[in-house]
Amino acid sequence: MRLTERIRYQRPAQQIERLRNRAERANEQLVSGARVLRPSDDPGATLRIRALERRYARLEQHERGADVAEARLLRSDASLSEAHDTLGRVHELTIQGLNASLSPQDAENIALEIEGLRDHLLSLANTRVEGRALFGGDGAATPYDAALGFQGDTGALRLEVGEGLRLEASLPGGAAFGDGTPATVDLFANLNDLAAAIRGRLEGPMQDAFEVLEAGQEQLNTARGRLGIALETLGQARAVNEALRARLPSEISDLKDADFTAVVADLSLTDNALQATLATSSRLMSGATLLDFLR
């Protein structure tokens, strides 16, 4: 092939430009530390990176959801545990009340104590976390009013604590203390009945109310069991979230980050080629032509 003047000058210029572009690309990767700077760098990886980054963002929300759920569940459990003790005390008092040799004054004292315990139970049933009642469903701020009537609904707060995992972060309203329907035991009505029966020394109603009280204790225990199951599910969800929190960033990094060794190797390779090209082309350009020898 004939090598003409234009080829002699154009060729090296094109080669140098190509090598400089390659070096620039490597430099860009080193400076940013990222392999995928724009979608065209690796379209497939871009797709996966975006999906993983979204997943990671959702993970943070799931963790926040889990925090809120845990706070509510633990507070609910604490309240119910106290309610359980309260009912235990009522149970003891009722057994005392059933004793036939009780003086009227003693009976009155027991009835008064049961009424006091009933008021304590009311304050437990109206426990709130962040302005939302724990045992009253979605509506009322104070589920059990002063007249001991249930004002709430049977809604339960469901929070997302994992991908597609919706957790009941509270008991359905009225599930623990009664929702005013025959399906549940109305604990407050029961304690009122007990107090009245003991005060009046009425054997039959006393026995009836005692049975209802035991059913009420059972209801409370079932409610606590539900909380326990929810807490366990929450623990599992948290474990999954933690595993993801550890795994996702490294998966994203694998796709996104530059392989420094490879890039540096490529850069020095390009640099060598560039220097060789510069050296040879400068020789070619400044090299002797016939012109230098013709006199």
Among 19, 23, 52, 65, contact with other proteins (rule: CB under 8 A)? 65
Tell me how far apart the alpha carbons of residues 197 and 98 are, in angstroms, rounded to a whole number: 10
Among 115, 138, 254, 271, contact with other proteins (rule: CB under 8 A)? 138
Rounded to whole angstroms, the maximal C-alpha distance in the chain is 146
38 binds other proteins (CB under 8 A): yes
201 binds other proteins (CB under 8 A): no
Among 20, 24, 31, 47, contact with other proteins (rule: CB under 8 A)? 47
- With 0-12 / 13-18 / 19 or more C-beta atoms within 10 angstroms meaning exposed / middle / buried, residue 169 is buried
284 binds other proteins (CB under 8 A): no
Among 12, 28, 58, 212, contact with other proteins (rule: CB under 8 A)? 58
- CA distances to 4, 150, 232 from 137, rounded to whole Å, are 89, 11, 22
110 binds other proteins (CB under 8 A): no
6 binds other proteins (CB under 8 A): yes
Q: Can you tell me whether residue 171 is helix, strand or coil?
A: coil
Tell me how far apart the alpha carbons of residues 222 and 93 are, in angstroms, rounded to a whole number: 23
239 binds other proteins (CB under 8 A): no
Residues 35, 256: contact at Cβ < 8 Å? yes
Tell me how far apart the alpha carbons of residues 75 and 225 are, in angstroms, rounded to a whole number: 14
Among 20, 33, 51, 183, contact with other proteins (rule: CB under 8 A)? 51
149 binds other proteins (CB under 8 A): no
286 binds other proteins (CB under 8 A): no
The DSSP secondary structure of 150-163, one letter per residue, reads B-S-S---EEEEET
Among 82, 153, 251, 254, contact with other proteins (rule: CB under 8 A)? 153
- CA distances to 53, 77, 148 from 113, rounded to whole Å, are 59, 24, 17
Site of interaction with other proteins (CB under 8 A): 1-7, 10-11, 14, 38-44, 46-47, 50-51, 54, 57-58, 61, 64-65, 68, 130-133, 137-139, 153, 155, 157-160, 164, 166, 289-291, 294
